[in-house]
Amino acid sequence: MFGALKRSIQNPMGPAGLAGTVDSLCKVHGVTGLNNAMSYNASLSRWTAELPTEFILTSEGIPDSTDLGRLWNEGLAFYGWFFYLSKFYEVLDTVIILAKGKRSSTLQTYHHAGAMMCMWAGIRFMSPPIWMFVFVNSGIHALMYTYYTLTAFSVPIPQALKRSLTTMQIIQFLVGATYATVHSFISYTVTVQVPSIPATVSSVVSSASVVATSAAAIATSTGVSDLIKKLLYRAVGQEGLAENVNAPAFSQAAQAPIVSAPSQAKPHSHVPTYVTETRTIPCIDTSGQTFAIWLNVVYLTPLTFLFVRFFIKSYIRRANAVGKKAGRKASFVAVEKGALDALKGVEREMSRGEKALANGH
């Protein structure tokens, strides 16, 4: 997973600057480089790219798995899936504890059940910050299970190391929740090249509107004159002439300008031009990604509280209790020693008294 991060995350000091780094962390599909990301457009219900001509989707309409340079294809899909499966083993671990007749604490039950759901949401909706939990949490768990293995073989573990492991877990919860939350409020600006509308298109549109207006005017004037002719012929009793009013002349007159319209655009030929536009890109693309983020945040909030309580109860209070017990023991030893010293002093005085009496006789 470290190699995937190394290959995917852009250097903020590189050509793309800080925007390139943010883009590489927010967009996990596509190829490397600013403006080369692909994302799912919920409004269109399909995958889209900032530069559509640079990418080809598969026959299923999804990004190609051979596109490299982004976190998903570089390793997040593979390692994230296996890390998600490992959460099922953690549930089995709780079952084993219960089968041994031991009690599963609230911390352990909540931790294992919630982690499985959060990892499912992160991988299912391909939420960008899920890499943090895959990378950091897997490292913490590797240390934790190493500790459990050593204790199973009765290997003594220093108390400072135990406290360090719990402290590392609490820190990763705080950092991970903060990092995930920030994604919902981040956007960045990119510049893209888009094709402009050529002058030919605008001239053709203007010609077409003129032609349409002329045709409508001809149709209106021709129709009115034909109607007047028919009424005059019928008024003088010439019904046959009224029926033979030249209607085809209208259709030819109305259609003549429309036929000549395309010929006006033929002489023009222009090379397509491009203009630079600035776009603001949100870090999160879909509601599913947002759901995965806030599910993790809601889960981690009480989990952090439970771990802090465990830390206080297991290390701070226990250390204080041990200190008090040691203090009481030291006081008892001091009193006992004082009593023995006093007893010895009494014995010495009695011995002196006996010697004095013996000398007096």
- Average per-residue pLDDT for the chain: 77
More confident residue, 231 or 172: 172
> Which tokens go with 59?
């026959």
More confident residue, 167 or 91: 167
Residue 210 covered by a domain: yes
- Name the least confident of 33-37, 211-215, 258-262, 270-274: 258-262
pLDDT tens digits for range 57-74:
788 878 888 888 899 999
Same structural domain for residues 151 and 215?
no
How many angstroms separate the Cα of 358 from the Cα of each of 82, 344, 351, 355, 361? 94, 21, 11, 5, 6
Q: At 297, is the pLDDT very low, low, confident or very high (cuts 50, 70, 90)?
A: very high
**Which residues are within 8 A (CB) of 86 and not within 5 positions of it... i.e. 6 or more apart?**
138, 141
Is pLDDT at 261 greater than 50 in this prediction? Answer: no
Q: Cα torsion for 53, 54, 59, 60, to the nearest 10°?
A: -100
For the residues of 287-300, what is the DSSP string, one character each? HHHHHHHHHHHHHH
Q: At 214, is the pLDDT very low, low, confident or very high (cuts 50, 70, 90)?
A: low
Q: What is the maximum alpha-carbon separation in the chain?
A: 186
pLDDT for the residue numbered 77 = 93
Residue indicated by tokens 């959460």: 87
pLDDT for the residue numbered 330 = 58
CA gap 185, 284 in Å, rounded: 9
Same structural domain for residues 239 and 283?
no
Domain boundary among 318, 336, 351: 318
CA gap 215, 323 in Å, rounded: 103
Same structural domain for residues 68 and 156?
yes
Residue indicated by tokens 């009224």: 242
Handedness of CA 150, 152, 153, 157 (dihedral sign): positive
> Which tokens go with 337?
């020693």
pLDDT for the residue numbered 168 = 92
Domain boundary among 271, 287, 309: 271
pLDDT tens digits for range 15-31:
888 999 999 999 999 88
CA gap 172, 43 in Å, rounded: 35
Residue indicated by tokens 């033929």: 266
Chain centre to alpha carbon of residue 24: 12
CA gap 60, 41 in Å, rounded: 15
Average pLDDT over residues 335-347: 61
pLDDT for the residue numbered 152 = 84
Is pLDDT at 292 greater than 80 in this prediction? Answer: yes
CA gap 357, 354 in Å, rounded: 5
Same structural domain for residues 26 and 55?
yes
Residue 115's Cβ-count burial label (10 Å; 0-12, 13-18, 19+) is buried
Residue 346 covered by a domain: no
Chain centre to alpha carbon of residue 127: 3
Average pLDDT over residues 322-346: 59
Q: Which of these, 280, 7, 294, lies nearest to 125 by C-alpha position?
A: 294
Residue 331 covered by a domain: no
Average pLDDT over residues 99-111: 83
Same structural domain for residues 9 and 102?
yes
pLDDT for the residue numbered 359 = 62
Residue 355 covered by a domain: no
> Which tokens go with 313?
């109860």
Residue 357 covered by a domain: no
For the residues of 156-201, what is the DSSP string, one character each? ---HHHHHHHHHHHHHHHHHHHHHHHHGGG-EEEEEEEEEPPPHHH
Same structural domain for residues 228 and 144?
no
The total of structural domains in the chain comes to: 2
Same structural domain for residues 102 and 70?
yes
Percent of the chain with pLDDT over 90: 28
Same structural domain for residues 144 and 66?
yes
pTM (predicted TM-score): 0.66
Same structural domain for residues 230 and 304?
no
**Which residues are within 8 A (CB) of 117 and not within 5 positions of it... i.e. 6 or more apart?**
295, 299
Residue 69 covered by a domain: yes
Same structural domain for residues 96 and 217?
no
Same structural domain for residues 133 and 239?
no
Query: Residue 254: which domain range?
Result: 204-271
Beta carbons of 239 and 220 less than 8 angstroms apart: no
| Range picked from 14-18, 44-48, 122-126 for highest mean pLDDT | 122-126
Same structural domain for residues 265 and 295?
no
Residue 333 covered by a domain: no
Residue 199 covered by a domain: no
Q: At 293, is the pLDDT very low, low, confident or very high (cuts 50, 70, 90)?
A: very high
pLDDT for the residue numbered 128 = 94
